[in-house]
């Protein structure tokens, strides 16, 4: 008998392994003669079990398939990651937008199932996930998005007591920097608009004068325009050919239509006012724009090439509106509402460097305050 190593001989016909699992003492007998070689094997098996328990990857049924206790731990340990991901997607159908579901399914089909699909939930370790991330040839932002379904199934399994540890808790999201705004200058705006005509010009002029997202432009309808008050009601967006409501309450907003936006709408009337609900149409098909990619390929890029200005993506019209508003001294709270931001802090974080005088005048008020006679003694202390 060698209880110090968690082993004991049972009636001369087996070797019993002793270990703690989920707060309970477990004793399992290996039906092996207690020879020195078999004792060494049993000792190493126990060490493997203890390591797997510490790492959160212990599968009771794998080591002791005939044990009555294995059935009590079987629910989670025998479920594969692929099965859990299928259940995750089924549950997500009722709570996620169509575009989000497509992103999840893409991550599952192309990245998660090929690597983890057949692996048991209880077998997944943090080391496995880190090694897999190291081989991915996609951007840090995409990696973080791909991890979302995996984090979901592992988190649920841990909450339900199906696994002892959640290996995803040790995996941090990769740092990534969003693309910096690259707005058009007033000269570039004129060159861009002069390079296009008709409906394409109206679309880009309206975008620059409102700061709407491309998805919001596509979904905008004539019924959303209040001509008497010069406002547009933003209540929907078109994402991957699916109409959806804004993600936040701030996204549902009324925006003020400035002179350039109103002029674009007036000219657009002759093209689409009597044709249907949507304001902006694809001049090649005379039907509404389906995706932002369609606008980029068939309207934006040709206009950019004709204008001779530096290439950007169409979303820069939104950054152009925001930066020019702040440069010209517009109230930041008003700009935030026009853009549909949840808070002024979001607008500041994105566009602070375009606020006129924010750097050159910084510290002047404090200097004037401390220069007053009543504060000089305090400042010099």
Q: What is the pLDDT of residue 98?
A: 80
Q: Average pLDDT in the 123-143 region?
A: 92
Task: Note the pTM of the prediction, 2 decimals.
Answer: 0.65
Q: What is the pLDDT of residue 1?
A: 44
Percentage of the residues of the chain whose pLDDT score is greater than 90: 58
Q: What is the pLDDT of residue 375?
A: 47
The sheet carrying 225-226 orders its strands as 225-226, 231-234, 253-256
Q: What is the pLDDT of residue 186?
A: 92
What are 138-164's pLDDT values in tens digits?
999 999 999 999 999 999 988 887 887
Q: What is the pLDDT of residue 247?
A: 66
CB 96 within 8 A of CB 107: no
Q: What is the pLDDT of residue 379?
A: 44
Q: Average pLDDT in the 248-276 region?
A: 91
From the list 313, 311, 310, 298, the residue with the least C-alpha distance to 199 is 298
| Beta-carbon contacts of residue 88 (< 8 Å; ≥ 6 apart) | 104, 149, 152, 153, 156
Phi and psi at residue 261, to the nearest 5°: -70, -40
CB 235 within 8 A of CB 253: no
Q: Average pLDDT in the 319-324 region?
A: 93
Q: Which of 117-131, 225-239, 329-343, 364-378 has the lowest mean pLDDT?
A: 364-378
Q: What is the pLDDT of residue 132?
A: 94
How many Å apart are CA 100 and CA 250, to the nearest integer? 20
Q: What angle do CA 104, 107, 113 make, to 5 degrees?
A: 115
- Domains (ranges, CATH) in the chain? 3-55 (no CATH), 81-170 (1.10.150.130), 186-354 (1.10.443.10)
Phi and psi at residue 256, to the nearest 5°: -80, 135
More confident residue, 59 or 225: 225
């Amino acid at each position: 008998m060698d209880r110090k190593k968690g082993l004991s001989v049972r009636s001369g016909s087996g070797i019993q392994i002793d270990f703690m699992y989920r707060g309970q003492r477990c004793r399992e007998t290996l039906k092996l003669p207690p020879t020195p070689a078999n004792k060494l094997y049993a000792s190493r098996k126990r060490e493997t079990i203890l390591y797997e328990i510490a790492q959160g990857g212990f599968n009771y049924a794998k080591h002791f398939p005939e044990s009555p206790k294995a059935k009590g731990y079987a629910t989670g340990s025998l479920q594969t990651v692929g099965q859990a991901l299928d259940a995750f997607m089924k549950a997500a159908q009722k709570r996620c937008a169509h575009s989000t579901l497509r992103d999840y399914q893409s991550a599952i089909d192309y990245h998660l199932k090929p690597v983890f699909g057949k692996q048991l939930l209880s077998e997944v370790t943090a080391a496995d996930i880190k090694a897999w991330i190291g081989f991915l040839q996609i951007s840090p932002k995409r990696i973080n998005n791909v991890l979302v379904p995996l984090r979901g199934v592992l988190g649920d399994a841990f909450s339900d007591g199906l696994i002892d540890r959640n290996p995803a808790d040790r995996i941090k999201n990769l740092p990534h920097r969003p693309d910096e705004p690259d707005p058009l200058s007033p000269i570039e705006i004129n060159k861009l608009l002069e390079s296009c005509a008709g409906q394409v010009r109206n679309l880009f002029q309206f975008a620059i004068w409102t700061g709407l997202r491309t998805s919001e432009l596509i979904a905008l309808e004539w019924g959303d325009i209040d001509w008497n008050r010069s406002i547009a009601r933003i209540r929907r967006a078109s994402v991957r050919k699916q109409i959806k409501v804004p993600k936040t309450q701030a996204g549902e907003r009324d925006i003020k239509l400035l002179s350039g936006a109103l002029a674009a709408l007036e000219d657009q009337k002759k093209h689409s006012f009597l044709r249907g609900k949507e304001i902006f149409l694809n001049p090649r098909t005379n039907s509404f724009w389906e995706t932002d990619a369609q606008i980029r390929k068939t309207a934006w890029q040709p206009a950019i090439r004709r204008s001779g200005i530096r290439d950007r993506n169409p979303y820069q019209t939104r950054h152009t509106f925001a930066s020019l508003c702040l440069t010209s001294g517009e109230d930041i709270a008003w700009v935030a509402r026009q853009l549909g931001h949840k808070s002024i802090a979001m607008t500041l974080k994105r566009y602070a460097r375009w606020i006129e005088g924010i750097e050159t005048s910084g510290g002047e008020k404090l200097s004037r305050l401390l220069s007053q006679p009543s504060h000089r003694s305090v400042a010099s202390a």
